[in-house]
């Protein structure tokens, strides 16, 4: 019968290789995933991307679409996959201009920003059949923006049961598709205006 008391198992052979020094703490049923490499990001904090030169949302349009995970390039804004998705198909709508706040958008930018958000929802419904969405913009450091210097809108597809115990208990998300697969599906399904083709890998000068 499996021991469910939570007590650590005894291994007699450990006596020969273990000293009598004990660290503080009480054993429990949890495992620890040590991630010291994340300390560089934590120390950098939300202020680490202040300038155009080091902003990933400014650099992305200068690279090939496959490399940057861009699915569509518009006139004033573009759509890109989130490198750290909450769910498969987690998209970001970003203006080319390096601006921090929603109120900084021009009238033209606001119209396309909203249009791309709506199109993103339609395309994701077509390729992935989600039953819901989370849309949102975290404004400013205190508002929770990971990169506060460059405005971006989250478009997160949702399905029943996708918020199970795994992300809640283990702070881990199981993503069922690679980013490359999702980028290809979304880019190919994105409606093209004025005869333009899907995001093909070229950089843009629309900034």
Q: Residue 185: which H helix or E strand, with range?
A: helix 179-189
Whose tokens are 């996708």? That residue is 162
DSSP state for residue 162 in the 8-state scheme: -
Indicate which residue of 90, 150, 152, 154 is catalytic. Answer: 152
Beta carbons within 8 Å of 104's beta carbon, 6+ residues apart? 97, 151
DSSP letters spanning 9-71: PP-GGGGGT--S---S----S------GGGHHHHHHGGGS--SGGG-HHHHGGGS-HHHHTEE
Dist CA 83 CA 66 (whole Å): 12
Respond yes or no: is residue 152 known to be catalytic.
yes
What is the largest distance, in Å, between two alpha-carbon atoms of the chain? 76
Catalytic residues: 152
């Amino acid at each position: 019968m499996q021991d469910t008391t939570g007590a650590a198992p005894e291994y007699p052979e450990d006596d020969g290789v273990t000293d009598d020094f004990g660290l503080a703490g009480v054993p429990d049923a949890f495992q620890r995933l040590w991630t010291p490499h994340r300390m560089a990001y934590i120390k950098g904090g939300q202020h680490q991307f202040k300038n155009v030169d080091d902003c990933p949302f400014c650099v992305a349009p200068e690279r090939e679409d496959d490399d940057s995970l861009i699915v569509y390039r518009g006139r004033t804004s573009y759509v890109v996959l989130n490198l750290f998705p909450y769910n498969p198909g987690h998209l970001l709508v970003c203006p080319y201009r390096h601006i921090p706040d929603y109120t900084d958008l021009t009238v033209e930018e606001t119209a396309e920003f909203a249009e791309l958000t709506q199109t993103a929802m339609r395309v994701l419904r077509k390729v992935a059949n989600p039953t819901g969405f989370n849309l949102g913009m975290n404004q400013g450091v205190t508002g929770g923006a990971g990169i506060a210097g460059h405005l971006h809108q989250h478009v997160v597809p949702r399905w029943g049961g996708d918020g199970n115990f795994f992300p809640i208990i283990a702070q881990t998300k199981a993503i069922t598709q690679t980013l490359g697969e999702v980028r290809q599906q979304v880019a190919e399904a994105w409606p093209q205006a004025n005869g333009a083709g899907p995001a093909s890998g070229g950089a843009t000068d629309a900034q």
